[in-house]
Each structure stands twice: as C-alpha cells, then as structure tokens.
Amino acid sequence: MEITVFLLVFFTGFLSAQSKYIAYNTSQGVVEGKLNVHLVAHTHDDVGWLKTVDQYYVGSNNSIQGACVQNVLDSIVPTLLADKNRKFIYVEQAFFQRWWRDQSEVIQDTVKKLVSSGQLEFINGGMCMHDEAATHYIDMIDQTTLGHRFIKQEFNETPRIGWQIDPFGHSAVQAYLLGAEVGFDSLFFGRIDYQDREKRKNDKSLEVIWQGSKTLGFSAQIFAGAFPDNYEPPPGDFYFEVNDQSPVIQDDSNLFDYNVQERVNDFVAAALSQANITRTNHVMWTMGTDFKYQYANSWFRQMDKFIHYVNMDGRVNALYSTPSIYTDAKYSTNESWPLKTEDFFPYADRANSYWTGYFTSRPAIKRYVRVMSGYYLAARQLELYRGRNNLRPKTDSLGDALAIAQHHDAVTGTEKQHVADDYAKRLSVGYVECPLLNISYCPPSEVDLSPGKKLVIVVYNSLGWRREDVVRIPVISKSVTVHDSNGKEVESQILPIANASIGIRNFYAKAYLGKSPSATPKYWLAFLASVPPLGFSTYIVSGNKTTVVESVVSIVSSNGSKSGTIEVGQGNLKLVYNVHEGKLTHYINKRSLIKASVEQSYSYYAGSPGSNTDPQASGAYIFRPDTTNATKFEGQENILLPQNPLTVLRGPILDEVHQRINPWIYQITRVYKGKEHAEVDFIVGPIPVDDQIGKEVITQVATSMKSNKTFYTDSNGRDFIKRIRDYRTDWDFQVNQPVAGNYYPINLGLYIEDNMTELSVLVDRSVGGSSIVDGQVEIMLHRRLLYDDSRGVAESLNEEVCILEECAGLTIQGNFYIRIDPLGEGAKWRRSFGQEIYSPFLLTFAEQDGDNWTTSHIPTFSGVDPSYSLPDNVAMITLQELDDGKALIRLAHLYEVGEDKDLSVTASVELKKLFSDKKIGEVTEMSLSANQERAEMEKKRLVWKTEGSLVEEPKVVRGGPVDPVTLIVELSPMEIRTFTLIFLT
C-alpha cells in the first residue's frame, strides 16, 4: 500500500512538471584559439536523376524517390526568419528561378532581405551543378552565366564559392576557368579517389591551392577543398530530416532520454577527428545531403541546440556558417597550403569501382547535347544580327534545356531512362531543321527536282574565319547539279547511301516520327561550300541530266587484287589497305613526308556482372571489364570473306572505304581531297546480349610509335593534360583495374607521340579513352550492360528503341578523326579542326519554284569586315544580345604556352572590324560569367600562400586593357576574355 501511494505521488509530480522555454544562443561567431566548427546547412537538389526535373520540383512520382524541391524552398524562408543567426546555402538556379517566379512580391522582398543579410547565400550559382567530365567548356560557361546573371539582376549579388560537391571527379578547367575566372574565392567538392583521399587525410592536404592551368599558373589558382567523407554530415549520427534515424538532442530534464552531454560528446569527438586531418583551427560540416530540408525546422532545431550546448561545454566552438565565411576564416590564418596541379580524374570510390564508364554512357544524348551546343552558339549570333524580338522565337528555351543537360546526372548518362528521354525532349524543342540528318533523313533535301524546281541551301558558318568544307545531304535522284549564288557551277559528287544507313534511317525515322518516311533517298550529294566568317552563303541544287559526277564504286576482295593492297585518297593524304586482311596498314602524307604503319580495329570489353568476392558490376557509372584484354570480334582478322569485301568509292571530292566489321558494326572511312585527316563514320549496334554478356565497344588505332606509357587527353575541350599509364602524380598508385583505372574523359581528343611523330584522334562527342598499350590509343564508342552498378540509379544501362511491341538495342552512329603529324605539328590540326567539329556548318533549306531566290533574298552575308577574320589562334565562343540590349562577346585563345611554335603567342582582335555594320559606343570587360566587371573582380581576389612558393611567382602573360579608341583586344595563350558592348544606334 505504501509503495502504491509513493508511485502515484511520483508519477503525479512527474506528469505535472512544467517544461521551461529555453532561449538557445546561436549568435556565436569565430573564436580565436579554439577549434571552430562551421555548420553549413545545405541541400543537394539534382536537376533530374531518378525523377525528371519537373517531378523533383513539384514532388510527384514519389514512389521512386520522396523529393520535392518546392517544399525545401518553401520551408527555408520561415525557418530562417525565426532566427537571424541561422544560415542556409542554395545552389541549383534551375529550381530556384522556377520557385522565384511563383512567389508573391511580399515573399520576394523577404527573400531579398535574407540574401542581403547573408542568411541565404547562393553558392556556385549555375543553373545546375554541372558535370566536369562529359561537359564542354563552352557549355559550362553558358549554364553558369545564365544563373549568375539572374542572381545579379534580382539580388545584386555575385556568388563567391564553387560548390561541385557531387560530380564524379573534377577537372582542371573547373578549377581555373569555372573557378578563378568567374571570381570564386574557393572551390569545394566531395568526390576524389579513395586512395588519394586517404593520402590527403594523412598529410592534411585535403585543402590545397589548385593551379589548374599550366599556362595561366598562379594568376588563375584557387583555394580548393575536398570533404573528408563526401558531402554529408560527419560520422556520428547528425542527420535530422523528419524520419531520419539520428538521435535528437533531448534537453528537457523532466522527460526520459535526456542526452545533452552524450550528444555534445558525439559532436566534440567528430570535430576533433576532422581537426586531426585538417590544417588550421577551422573545420566545415556539410549539414545536409540530397533533397534535404523539406521540413527545414527539423534540422535547424537540432543545430540550434548543438550550437548552444557545445559552446556551453567550451571544448570546441560551433557556429552557423557558410562556405564564404569558412573561406575567409581560412584565409585569415595566413597558412601556407599544398599546391595541386592537373585534375582529379579518374575517380574510384573503392577498389574495382572506377567511375569511368559514364564517360561514354548514353552516347546518343552526349552527341545530341554537343550538336545542340554548336547550334545554340550559332543561333545566338544570328539573333544578335537580326535583333531579339518578342514576336519571334528566341533562343532562351534552348539555352535553358542545354543548361540542365550539363547536370552531373544528365549528359553523363547516369539517369534513369525516362529522365534521359525528358532531357532529349527538352533539347528537341529548340531544333527543327533536319534533326535526323545523322541518320540520312532530311525531308527538305529529299524533294523532286523536276524542271523548274530547285532546292535552296543556305550554309551558315559560325566561326570567325572563312571556311571551306564539304556539305553532304541525302537526295532522291543522282541527276542533280549545284550552283553558287552567282550562278557558277560548283564541283559536286554523288555517292550511293550504304544499305546499313538506309536500314537505320527506316527504323529510327519510324520510331521517332511514328510513321515510315514517304521516300527513301539512294544517294548522298556532296559539294564543297565556301562561307565567310560569321556569315552564310547560298547554293542552288537543280535537276540535271548531263553533268552528274558519280562516284566510281569498286568492290575489292582478296581475289580481285593482284598486289594485295589498295590506296585511297587524291590529295596529300593516302591510306593504304591490305586487301587480304581488309585492314588499314599505312598512313602516308606527301606534304609532311609522313609514312607510318597504322591499324584500326574494333573490340569489346565484357562488362563484369560482379562476383561472390566482389559484387561490383559494370554499369552506367562504373567501368569494370571482366578481363583486362579486349575481345576482338570473330572473323575480324579475316574480314574479307566473300560476303565481306571492301567497297571503295572514288570521286573528285572524296574517297570512301566501306567495311562490314561484323553483323552490327559498319564503318565508312573518308579521305577528302583537300584535307589531311581520315574521317571515320561508324555504326555500332544493336549490341547483341543474347549471350547474357554486356559489352563495351571500343575502337583502337595502333602504330609502331614508342609512346612510353604516355598519352594526352583534353580537359573539357580546353587544356591537354599529360597522362602516364598506371601512375598518379599525387600518390603512389596501387593498380587494381589496369584498364578502367587508366581511362580518362575526352571531349576534344587524345594523342600520343614519340621522338618523331604524333598520332591524334578527335571525337564528335564526349567519350572515354586511353592508351592501354604503347603506340596505341582507344576510345569507347558504345556500352550496353545488363546489371546495375549499385550507385543509386537502380537500372542497367540497356537502352532500347521500340516501334509498337518491337524493341531493339540502341544503335549509335558517329564520327572520329585520325591524323598523324611530325612531332610538334599536330596542335594546329587539333585546335583548328576541333573548332570545326564543335561548330559545323548549319544548313537551312527552301524550295524555289519559279522566282529566282538570289534576286529576292540576300544570298551571302558576313558580320565581319570583308577584309578581316579572326586570327588563327582565336575563336569567338559567345556572341549574343542580352535582355538589356547589350551584346555579350567572348574571345578565346586556343593554344597553351609552348603548344605550337607559331600560334602559342599573344593574338590581337580588332573589335571595330569584327562588327562591320555596327558602331561600338562602349566596351566593358567582365568576369567570365559576365556578372561583374573584371577589374572589380581582380580587386577582390584573395592571394593565397603555397608551400615552398617562390618569393616571386613566374610571370604570366595576360592581355592588356582595351584602348577605347582602337578597340583592340589582346589575348595571351589560354586566355578567355569576356566583354559587354553597347552599340550606337
């Protein structure tokens, strides 16, 4: 009885105890002499991955992933207003801008105050967090500019920090171009190789001064930091989204589970652990991860408590912070930092798990992005010349679609299939003129040119110099002739379309359009077009019965060649084939006196399904071949069986060699009369998987060169970086995947060299490649795999195209280009022809019936003074009209220091002659992303100290100020200069 009374009294007292309001002190700043823990509240919001960008924003399709970005942004505003000391950073402008447009003026004003006070800070500031491997530097600049200019316009702010926390490896171009050159003071990221990370933890070099460009050196260096454990909160249970499992701080002593000291101890232990691998008394905690803060108060309530109680404890100092505050704190210590050069590729998160497969995954969308990028560059030029007008279509929707396509789960090919389809659909909105020309389907050119009818072709050249190139279009009749706008006949050539191409055309046209083409052209018409810089020329195609120049077609088999070899090419370049083996054997250039043995072949790596000892499979992200040796295709060594002869086409403009490699690989090698490289047109697919083996198809170009394990690959189409097989500059590399661990991203090309010659291979899209054997390079063209690689996408990389119930694996058609030069002379071709690959001729068509087109239309145009063109070492990578009526122009020097004996020098551009019909009133040099004046950016630049740095850094040449009278722009090697122009009316 006494015990019962006691218990009743106890519980009555317990239940009637009143909780006391606690005012948490969150005002703490940096404290000298203590370990400062900077709590950075953030969310990482993929602009498409498992769901489409729209589904992520509104929170639909949550059976795949419970994520709603709209909830995140809605939740953040009132949570920040509740405590002026709270801070939050936001990155992806594609989401934020959509949310911003939906808000009332009251909310917009509130958000502007939060941004102005520093509570809400925009980090990175691009439309997305772009990838750094499969992206071209022009696309990286464009998508960043879209975000930065919006932030400047709406908030008058310029982002200070790069925040590339999720991309799968990090490029040198990101560091110096999309870091220092956009005005960032620091760059932070999450993913680096697991071996590299452990080494950097041991010697406290996770944070470095990164000099990404050997040409621009210290003038474009940046403070950079890799997180100790990706971009999530540190180990120790610090996740506080609703339903997360981490224990919250229970600080009401009247309730059970009071755990303040326990949680403070967890915090201090995690802080000290990170301090042991970090220089200075400042550490950053990334408090958030993918799509967090959908209920922001859940996080901030716990961080309030941690700051309050940890600082009462006194062993370390906790504070609400941002990467900007953290960077300034690091800078104030006057510490000297290790120097980092080159890049952080390739990336592996553990043994046998190299994220080098995504360099090639989804090659179709990679090509689509590249095509649309060149189209967008040209379309903006024409928009400026014509003038932006709300009554006409604008380039804005294409710019937005291209921007989100640079996301690190978009162009990378690491998204779910329905998301990849969504990206492609968005890109298609901005491109309507023969979008299926790559599969020889172009209705405007496939017209009946009966007497009186003519086909008008307007050819646009977006490059800054006059260009001559071959135009190829499908036609239904071989009886055609071509004239220029002056009525002069242009040399042309008719080539039969290969049966392999016709099969692709018929299947894919029906798949994409829902119906079969009404006619099937049998021929390609090829003619040489000459087009002025930043201008167009007009050509007229008409029916003709007498002057047709057909290609001479010969079928060469081992029985039909007495010598055993054939030679193709009518100009300086000759390719020699062994007829009996059906192989290319020699590359001969009469001008440069090159005679080199060379072979080109196809193989595949069998994608690993994983094993009992290591379940890691090859997939969208991971490249893990089942063996270290690529498998040659059966019969390839004796390809010239009676059913597989060589087919050779010869004509006045080009020669072609057609080869059926196997039932699902077809190749056409072209040699143009006026060019000194070989163009390879390949068709790969559908890759068969009936044997239950996923395949990763490569092409190899082999020579007798002594390349000594060394090769060079481009960084986002910009700098070339030296690679050494089985070697890393920054640590002692333990080789566990000798193929995948030596693969690198390629956007422009790769090359090898010895003491006499250099072999270059350029590509038409981003791919992966390497030199696994001395004297040989390889690029991966296509992948079809049957297992998921367990990195979150939860699908195998098995792309199919369906017509009703009939589905087939995806077929890829594309090009790569081969050239051999004397040592030191290859850069001219790589740089100049690389620009032509990125910016091909753009074709538009009209049908002329009766009236003379050239008298009723402007037949030729150039935006440049007739006597002028850009120097050979300079490209115009941006020319567009901005919303405020100004023009934005970017000029890029194409060469690195020492890359070419003639062209690695300072160049000059005369702006007055670049705009022949416009008078320039004002020129302002801007940062790369055009959101602040360059001079202002330079004044704010932080100058960091590096370990062992010289008292005086090596001199870096930069172009000088632009004289307002002469308007001449100087560009030093690798320099990109950005200007806004005001034209006088």
> Does 646 reside within a domain?
yes
Tokens, residue 286: 């990334």
* Digit-coded pLDDT (tens) for 604-631: 999 999 988 999 999 999 999 999 899 9
**Inter-residue contact 119 to 81 (CB < 8 Å):** no
Asked if residue 463 and residue 405 are part of one domain, the reply reads: no
Q: Which of 180, 97, 162 is nearest to 940 (CA)?
A: 180
* Digit-coded pLDDT (tens) for 154-164: 999 999 999 99
> Does 592 reside within a domain?
no
> Does 129 reside within a domain?
yes
End residue of a domain, out of 412, 429, 446: 429
**Inter-residue contact 609 to 542 (CB < 8 Å):** no
Asked if residue 257 and residue 239 are part of one domain, the reply reads: yes
End residue of a domain, out of 429, 449, 484: 429
Contacts of 438 (CB under 8 A, 6+ apart): 367, 813
Q: How far is CA 197 from CA 273, 328, 745, in A?
A: 15, 24, 21
> What residues are paired with 772 via a beta bridge?
none
Which contiguous run of DSSP H or E holds residue 194?
A: helix 194-202
What pLDDT, on the 0 to 100 scale, is given for residue 1?
Answer: 47
How many domains does one find in the chain?
A: 5
Task: State the Cα–Cα distance between residues 27 and 284, nearest whole angstrom.
Answer: 17
Backbone angles phi, psi at 182, to 5 degrees: -95, 0
* Digit-coded pLDDT (tens) for 63-122: 999 999 999 999 999 999 999 999 999 999 999 999 999 999 999 999 999 999 999 999
Task: State the Cα–Cα distance between residues 162 and 212, nearest whole angstrom.
Answer: 14
What pLDDT, on the 0 to 100 scale, is given for residue 642?
Answer: 46
Asked if residue 695 and residue 636 are part of one domain, the reply reads: yes
Tokens, residue 228: 């100790």
Q: How far is CA 519 from CA 434, 548, 844, in A?
A: 15, 22, 20
Tokens, residue 804: 């009703």
Asked if residue 387 and residue 298 are part of one domain, the reply reads: no
Return the HEC string of 253-291. Answer: CCCCCCCHHHHHHHHHHHHHHHHCCCCCCEEEEEECCEC
What pLDDT, on the 0 to 100 scale, is given for residue 8?
Answer: 41
Q: Is cis: bond before 866, omega within 30 of 0?
A: no
Task: State the Cα–Cα distance between residues 786 and 846, nearest whole angstrom.
Answer: 46
CATH number at residue 133: 3.20.110.10
Return the HEC string of 911-970. Answer: HHHHCCCCEEEEEEEECCCCCCEHHHHHHHCCCCEECCCCCCCCCCCCCCCCCCCCCEEE
Which contiguous run of DSSP H or E holds residue 388?
A: none
Tokens, residue 812: 């890829």
Q: Terminal CA-to-CA distance of the chain, rounded, Å?
A: 101
DSSP line for 705-747:
---TTEEEEEETTTEEEEEETT--SSS----S-TTGGG-EEES
Contacts of 55 (CB under 8 A, 6+ apart): 61
Q: What distance separates the 2 farthest-apart alpha carbons in the chain? A: 122
Look at residue 672 and give its three-state secondary structure. Answer: strand
Q: Which of 744, 704, 740 is nearest to 722 (CA)?
A: 744
Asked if residue 369 and residue 329 are part of one domain, the reply reads: no
> Does 173 reside within a domain?
yes
Backbone angles phi, psi at 721, to 5 degrees: -115, 135
Sign of CA dihedral 919, 921, 926, 929: negative
Chain centre distance of CA 47: 15
What pLDDT, on the 0 to 100 scale, is given for residue 7?
Answer: 40
The angle formed by the CA atoms of residues 564, 567 and 569, to the nearest 5 degrees, is 170
Contacts of 167 (CB under 8 A, 6+ apart): 129, 130, 131, 132, 133, 189, 191, 408
CATH number at residue 890: 2.60.40.1360
CATH number at residue 411: 1.20.1270.50
Q: Which of 921, 912, 926, 908 is nearest to 979 (CA)?
A: 926
> Does 609 reside within a domain?
yes
Tokens, residue 106: 């009251």
**Inter-residue contact 705 to 716 (CB < 8 Å):** no
What pLDDT, on the 0 to 100 scale, is given for residue 439?
Answer: 63
**Inter-residue contact 836 to 463 (CB < 8 Å):** yes
> Does 841 reside within a domain?
no
> Does 336 reside within a domain?
yes
Asked if residue 900 and residue 774 are part of one domain, the reply reads: no
**Full domain range(s) for residue 395:** 363-429
In order along the chain (985 residues), what is the average pLDDT of each group of 10 residues?
43 49 92 97 97 97 96 97 98 98 97 98 97 98 97 97 97 97 97 97 97 94 95 94 92 90 97 97 97 96 98 97 98 96 96 97 96 94 87 86 97 97 89 64 70 86 96 88 91 89 76 72 92 95 72 62 81 93 93 95 95 94 94 57 73 94 94 96 94 96 96 97 97 95 98 97 98 97 97 96 87 96 96 96 83 79 93 96 93 96 96 91 96 95 85 78 94 97 90
Task: State the Cα–Cα distance between residues 746 and 678, nearest whole angstrom.
Answer: 19
DSSP line for 466-517:
-EEEEEEEEES-S-EEEEETTS-EE-EEEEEPPHHHHHHHHHHHHHHHSS--
Asked if residue 477 and residue 409 are part of one domain, the reply reads: no
End residue of a domain, out of 316, 347, 378: 347
Look at residue 909 and give its three-state secondary structure. Answer: strand
Asked if residue 371 and residue 472 are part of one domain, the reply reads: no
Tokens, residue 730: 């920054």
Asked if residue 389 and residue 326 are part of one domain, the reply reads: no
**Inter-residue contact 717 to 136 (CB < 8 Å):** yes
**Inter-residue contact 507 to 803 (CB < 8 Å):** yes
Calculate helix-pair angle for 93-101, 69-81, nearest 10 degrees. Answer: 70
> What residues are paired with 318 via a beta bridge?
37
> Does 589 reside within a domain?
no
What pLDDT, on the 0 to 100 scale, is given for residue 641?
Answer: 45
What pLDDT, on the 0 to 100 scale, is given for residue 393?
Answer: 78
Asked if residue 637 and residue 769 are part of one domain, the reply reads: yes
Asked if residue 201 and residue 306 are part of one domain, the reply reads: yes
Task: State the Cα–Cα distance between residues 202 and 981, nearest whole angstrom.
Answer: 51
Asked if residue 334 and residue 372 are part of one domain, the reply reads: no
